[in-house]
Amino acid sequence: MSDGRDMITLYGFGPKFALPEASPFVMKTELQLKLAGLPYRLERASPRDAPKGKLPFIRDGARVIADSTFIRRHIESSRQIDLEAGLGAAERATGWAIERMLEDQLYWAMLHLRWADDANFAKGPSQFFAGLPDEVRDTRRAQLLANIGAHGLGRHNAAEIAALGDRSLAALSALLGERRYLFGDAPSAVDATAAAMVVSVATPFFDGALTRAARSYANLMAYGERMMTRYYPDFAAGLFP
């Protein structure tokens, strides 16, 4: 285990789409590092560089840890930090359920919004393939869309996918209610996941039914703005004009 003196390096895509990070999973991990009060440095990387072929991953001394969930576990165990301090067993269980709803359902609807719509793809994800042959871009896009189909969500039409994503947004809005954060007046680990996903879906950089649905929930928009103002003040105005 780390002795706590190593500087953590977080690897991600970097700022894109009016967001501090193109991937909500990288943003989640960065927010958890901020919540933990740990020093870290950011480095850009490609999924090809990652141990599991996906971002984020971190380097902590000699250790490399991939996947945002396992990164959090490492942060907490190596630094003796509890990002859910003060929460009871039911709240911790609810937090895990919220994460699974957002990461295993809403995230895929967000991917469909970005990658399946031609206009959104052209101005958004196609940036990842700048300088590469068109065939590479088109092959990667087809692979990603096939992955959404394999997940199951991609077997529906665009309107149905947006409606399913909206159902998760509605559930999150109901769970948040009038609270400042999901479990009270202070953010916890699940707020890193929720805020990263909310702003990634709601960014005005993209257009579509799912984006419009996200921006229709006043409490989610206030929540996203609150988290961005607190942790990414340079991006808050662009996301919440």
Per-residue pLDDT of the chain (241 residues; tens, 9 = 90+): 344 457 999 999 999 999 999 999 999 999 999 999 999 999 999 999 999 999 999 999 999 999 999 999 999 999 999 999 999 999 999 999 999 999 999 999 999 999 999 999 999 999 999 999 999 999 999 999 999 999 999 999 999 999 999 999 999 999 999 999 999 999 999 999 999 999 999 999 999 999 999 999 999 999 999 999 999 999 999 999 8
Do 28 and 196 touch, CB atoms closer than 8 A? yes
| CA–CA separation, 153 and 199 (whole Å) | 21
Residues linked to residue 181 through DSSP beta bridges, in sequence order: 184
> What's the CA gap between 220 and 210, in Å, rounded?
14
Could you tell me the CA-to-CA distances from 221 to 169, 184, 216 in Å, in that order? 11, 17, 8
* φ, ψ of residue 63 in degrees (nearest 5): -95, 140
Tell me how far apart the alpha carbons of residues 164 and 183 are, in angstroms, rounded to a whole number.
25
Backbone angles phi, psi at 44, to 5 degrees: -85, 145
Q: Which residue matches tokens 């501090």?
A: 20
Cα(47)–Cα(152) distance, integer angstroms: 23
